[in-house]
Amino acid sequence: MQVAGTEDGIKGPQATFSACIGAAFIMLHPTKYAAMLAENMKKHDATGWLVNTGWSGGSYGSGKRIKLAYTWKIIDGIHSGKLLEANYTKTEIFGLEIPTEIEGVPSKILDPANTVSYYK
């Protein structure tokens, strides 16, 4: 996120994209690091969770922040093990598995494609 006052010409918050945190400092292509992560997760039988705690439904001004109460419910589901038993859908491009429901969290926000009008 770029914020007004940190760069010339920026008048308000603007979303930015980086293939990975610290992209300016990595030596290999991001997909190489992704493959290394996947290999180590398999080797050590690790489970990983990607939790959106940022914007949903569009960029700044049209979207909204994920409510902290929803983030807590998701994290509670991870810690309790309930999400390991949940039903999931799989995204086409990245193969991410998204739970279809989490108690106390609107199902619509679980899959970002359901929250942004240009996906429909």
- In the chain, where the domains are located: 47-119
Segment 22-72, tens digit of pLDDT: 777 889 988 898 899 999 999 999 999 999 887 788 777 778 888 999 999
Give the C-alpha separation, 83 to 12, whole Å: 37
Residue 120: pLDDT band (50, 70, 90) is very low
Task: Count the neighbouring beta carbons within 10 Å of the beta carbon of residue 74.
Answer: 21
pTM: 0.72
Residue 48 sits at φ, ψ, to 5 deg, of -120, 150
pLDDT of residue 119: 46
